[in-house]
Amino acid sequence: MLITILAIVFVATFLTIYSIMYIIAMRRDPVRARLEQLAGNSGVSTQSSYDLRASLRRKGVDLLAANVRNVSGTRERLARAGYLRHGAVYDFYLVTLIFGLAGLAVAAATGMLFHLATIKIVLMLGAGAILSALLPRLYISQKIANRREAIRRAVPNMLDLLVVCVEAGLSFTSGIQKLSEEMRNGCPELAQELQIVTQEILIGKPKSETFRMLANRTQVEELRALAVTLIQTDRLGTSIGTSLRVLADSMRFKRRQRAEEAANKVSVKLVFPLVLLIFPELLIVLVGPAMINIFKTLQDVAK
């Protein structure tokens, strides 16, 4: 049994180190990447070691994806988290595999260190592998929530700037492009999404469709309202500047309401820390000396 556990630890450690080194080796020189892209577009076939590694990588990940059967869902989740590259789904599965192997190695080493029973070691191996493999998914879920909140907070400011750009004489597409450049420091998440919207509009997609896709990708209700406003503007032929100004005013009012709601919840949220953390210490400080004197007095009386 000891030999089996040692073999499992060795294999898991070897695969983990190999995967990490594999990821490091997959980093490409941007100049070489651009040259290979141009060579691929021109129809010239380039046989290089990178192509072989990329082919093996895609095949290995496709085997995992065939078992999971949710590649499209994973790609959508990664897009909501900000990972928009085509190879992001492959990296996600590879990182999940690395974490699973690392958890397997740590569980096996812990079981051997504390000399646990065989059944406990097996349970620890399964639990360690499963929990470690779930860590990347938890990280992606948390990043989706943070990114959605950052975009939601930046939408009212984006609408105000868009109204200024449109009323200053810029076209809607030029205004979106200008916003994607101006908001890189304030909200890089929204700037990234606006850059995608600009590219989609420039290739010929309707504004309403691009913003509908943006709302579905980010799951932000404010952007969904913007998509609905653009659809109604296109159908009814109303002024886009007036529609955006009305929408910006409503977004600003909703933001003020959310701020007031959060401020009103503060007093209720402070009750639990006060009762559980502060009042007991105050009670001990105030009543403690008196209780000690009472106990001393009672002891003297008893003697």
Residue type for position 184: R
Quick one: tokens of 53? 């590694």
Q: Please report, for the chain, the start and end positions of each structural domain, with discontinuous segments joined by +.
A: 2-116, 148-264
User: 211-216 long-range CB contacts below 8 Å, 24 or more apart?
Assistant: none
Q: Alpha helices of 168-278 — where are they, by DSSP H? A: 172-182, 188-202, 207-218, 221-236, 240-269, 271-273
Task: Assign 105 to helix, strand or coil.
Answer: helix
Q: Percent of the chain beyond pLDDT 90?
A: 4
Question: Higher confidence at residue 208 or residue 25?
Answer: 208
15-53 residue pLDDT tens: 767 666 665 555 555 555 565 556 554 444 444 444 444
Q: Which of 18-27, 184-193, 253-262 has the lowest mean pLDDT?
A: 18-27
Contact predicate 69/99, CB 8 Å: no
Contact predicate 190/155, CB 8 Å: yes
Return the pLDDT at 39.
53
Return the pLDDT at 24.
58
Q: Which of 41-45, 100-104, 230-234, 279-283 has the lowest mean pLDDT?
A: 41-45
What is the band of 85 on the pLDDT scale with cuts at 50, 70, 90? confident
Residue type for position 57: R
Q: Which of 69-73, 128-132, 170-174 has the lowest mean pLDDT?
A: 69-73
Question: Cα–Cα distance between 248 and 190 in angstroms, integer?
Answer: 16
Average pLDDT, the chain: 78
